[in-house]
Amino acid sequence: MRSPIFTLDRTDIKILDILQNDGRISNIKLAEAVNLSPTAALARVQKLAKDGFILGYEAKLNPDMLNASFVVFVEILLDKTTPNVLEEFSDAIMQYPEIVECHMISGGFDFVVKIRCANMEEFRKISGQVLWQLPGIKETRSYPVMEVIKESSKIYLKTKG
């Protein structure tokens, strides 16, 4: 099966790259940047969204100004990984906005989550009132972040050829 990236041409990839860096760019400026008419550029963006390459747009907020600059990664081991326990755990995770990411992983633990909150005191509350209340929890290991070196949600886009 071919990767979806190969159905894109250079112009589509350039559009996606520009939108990743500036989701608020005007259609006229986008069209100029990719050497298309505004109508053609808009049609391409709409097709990229319709085809699922663009999932949405959001503002990147400053966590320091919003009392959410303390980040902790937590490895989670469940007592068992039966389908019903995994489903209950996954459903429960979705209820807590402090948990900004959750990934099922392989290795010594079942999941790793990323938590954003104000400080260690707030994390301790989240640990006791949220994490340890999740269904199926057997063990956790927490890793408070001392300094963010790089953080991005951008996808590196390579052109073919």
- Please report the pLDDT score of residue 7 as a whole number: 83
Instruction: With cut-offs at 50, 70 and 90, classify the pLDDT of residue 1.
Output: very low
In a domain, 154, yes or no: no
Among 5-14, 16-25, 102-111, 141-150, name the one with the lowest average pLDDT: 5-14
In a domain, 121, yes or no: yes
Domain that holds residue 31: 4-50
In a domain, 63, yes or no: no
Return the HEC string of 15-39.
HHHHHHHCCCCCHHHHHHHCCCCHH
Q: What is the DSSP letter of 108?
A: S
Q: Domain count for the chain, please give it.
A: 2
- Please report the pLDDT score of residue 91 as a whole number: 97
In a domain, 61, yes or no: no
Q: Kindly report, residue by residue over 10-67, the tens digit of the pLDDT.
A: 999 999 999 999 999 999 999 999 999 999 999 999 999 999 999 999 999 999 999 9
In a domain, 153, yes or no: no
Does 81 lie in the same domain as 122? Answer: yes
In 3D space, the residue among 90, 100, 30 whose CA is nearest the CA of residue 58 turns out to be 100
Q: What is the DSSP letter of 55?
A: -
E runs forming strands in 20-154 = 70-78, 99-104, 111-117, 137-144
CATH code of the domain containing 83: 3.30.70.920
